[in-house]
Amino acid sequence: MTSPTAPGGASATVAPILRLRGIGKVFFGNSVLRGIDLDVRPGEVHALVGENGAGKSTLMKIIAGVHQPDAGSMELDGAPATFASPLAAQLAGVSTVFQEFNLLPERTVAENVYLGREPRRFGIVDVRRMARDTDALLADLGLHGLASWMRVGSLSVAEQQIVEIVKAVSYDARIISMDEPTAALADQEVELLYALVQQLRDRGVAILYVSHRLKEIFDLCDTITVLKDGDLVLTTATADITPDRLVRTMVGREFAGYYPDKDPGTVPGAVKLALSDAGNTQVDGIDLEVRAGEIVALAGLQGSGRTEIAHGVFGVAPFTRGTVLLDGEPVTVASAREAVRLGIALVTEDRKAEGLALEQSISANARLVLDAVTPRSSDRRARAIPGILSSLDLVSRSKDAEVQYLSGGNQQKVVLAKWLVTDPSVIVLDEPTRGIDVGAKRAVYDLMRTLTARGVAILLISSELPEVVAMADRILVMRDGRLAGELPAGSDEEAVMALATGAGDTSEHVEVDLSALDVPVGSTVRPPRPAHSDTLQEEK
């Protein structure tokens, strides 16, 4: 359709590092990519967007050397290039940070960065040089909080991602592609990544950036390429397109409001689930109520205890203090099994690890809970599954397909079906839209509205603030394992963030002041780091 127009900004005049012409790929007779022309220029952050199944991942894998194209040509610095393996691509300066990390959790940062090419002296691994080089690399990128000796498994998800990027930089990568790098990050961690991406761009590295989050595409990217059903439909400078138009281009249809409005007929009923002063080793003093037909959001930073509340309610890590009331009756939920029996459902944060049996079929997964908890009636109740799946618009050729081959959005629909068939009255959704495309997101939101109209109580845990603000009737904000406060529907995102980070607390400001003092190495005083917003203001 549209021929690739010259990207905006200073980069327009620069010759591309990577030039793809007419790239096509066929899997099992299905053409998944056709005639892709893509130019990636140094110092450019180039967004690759499209719904799941549009071909972004395949294109990334071709660039990474995981797949070989069936048609078309690739040029690196004007010379024809073919990457037989990811390693070959990496050695040529094209690195890829996949969603599944290529890191060894039991090894240190340095051992991971130099894996497979450890520096040697007289045949012996030069441990000191490896550490020195890694630390130099970290320092060069301004990553003073990370050190070469740290065990990767002890780092946060965001930090592990950064280690991946550092590894790419250590290969002198001139193109780094990132596949949904923020999918598993909380909002405040996203900022870390932004900063690093911008720093790399300023050094002339080209970044190919796949994301579902419109906000970060517009914040971060210079150029946007839209894929749809295997075709490249648009390449444009970010400045030349609006978010609305981008969404329309991606889904190819008008989007009547990203978030479905609440049906005026849905009014919160009796209290379904109530926690009073609930706590365990992870969270403390939790008081909350969710009414029938109500969506209550739990917002907060990663690690603030949101998932831990879900685990408490669902009996995975039961509360050891306080009381849990279900329909006004005190209950003890000591295991997930009891929770299911009581009509509670938990859609977990990590659908691949905790939500699905990846090697099994759609129908087997949808029956998982029924078979386990109510084996005698499961055949009868499973008859509802086809109806539920089609009401969720699950797109799949066969119900016998292994779920590992489904897109993220379709996988999530299978997880939802698995729970809906148990007919729960309380549903806890932990990051239900993470890493799924806009179409599937919309389906999840619609489902939430339908369920609440039927009187189901929903506890929504989410790091996507727009989603929290648009969908919830009330917003509870967590901080440090406790509830920091409650906000009404439609509160602005800044208010949620302020509560989540404690930015409004005077005590935090005292700590910020303390941290401005210089503390010598090895001192026992360890001041907390300043909150970022404050620092920026000081800088200005």
Residue list 255-294, contact with another protein (CB under 8 A): 281-282
Secondary structure class of 400 (helix, strand, coil): coil
**Pairing state between β 329-331 and 321-326:** antiparallel
391 binds another protein, rule: CB under 8 A: no
Q: Which 3-state string (H, E, C) describes 320-382?
A: CEEEEEECCEEECCCCHHHHHHCCEEEECCCHHHHHCCCCCEHHHHHCHHHHHHCCCCHHHHH
Residue with Cβ nearer another protein (118 or 446): 118
450 binds another protein, rule: CB under 8 A: no
Residue with Cβ nearer another protein (105 or 387): 105
In the bound complex, what is the minimum distance in angstroms from residue 182's beta carbon to another protein? 12
Element (H, E) at 86: helix 86-91
Q: In the set 33, 40, 49, 141, which binds another protein (CB under 8 A)?
A: 141
Residues 188-214 as b or e (16 or more Cβ within 10 Å = b): bbbbbbbebbeebbeeebbbbbbbbbb
- CA 47 to CA 220: how far, in whole Å? 9
Q: What φ, ψ does residue 514 adopt, rounded to 5°?
A: -55, -40
Residue with Cβ nearer another protein (255 or 405): 405
Count the residues of the shown chain that bind another protein, applying the rule CB under 8 A: 82
x-or-dash string of contact with another protein, 154-183, rule CB under 8 A? xxx-xx--x---------------------
Binders of another protein among 113-132, rule CB under 8 A? 115-118, 120, 123-125, 127
Q: Which stretch binds another protein (CB under 8 A): 17-25, 43-51, 146-154, 436-444?
A: 146-154
CA 506 to chain centre: 32
Secondary structure class of 136 (helix, strand, coil): helix
Element (H, E) at 251: helix 243-251
Binders of another protein among 180-239, rule CB under 8 A? 187-192, 194-196, 198-199, 202
5 binds another protein, rule: CB under 8 A: no
253 binds another protein, rule: CB under 8 A: no
Secondary structure class of 388 (helix, strand, coil): helix
Binders of another protein among 56-75, rule CB under 8 A? none
In the bound complex, what is the minimum distance in angstroms from residue 394's beta carbon to another protein? 29
Q: In the set 36, 40, 143, 406, which binds another protein (CB under 8 A)?
A: 143
In the bound complex, what is the minimum distance in angstroms from residue 215's beta carbon to another protein? 13
In the bound complex, what is the minimum distance in angstroms from residue 250's beta carbon to another protein? 25
357 binds another protein, rule: CB under 8 A: no
**425 contacts 457 by C-beta, under 8 angstroms:** yes
**Token pair in block for residue 109:** 């940062």
495 binds another protein, rule: CB under 8 A: no
317 binds another protein, rule: CB under 8 A: yes
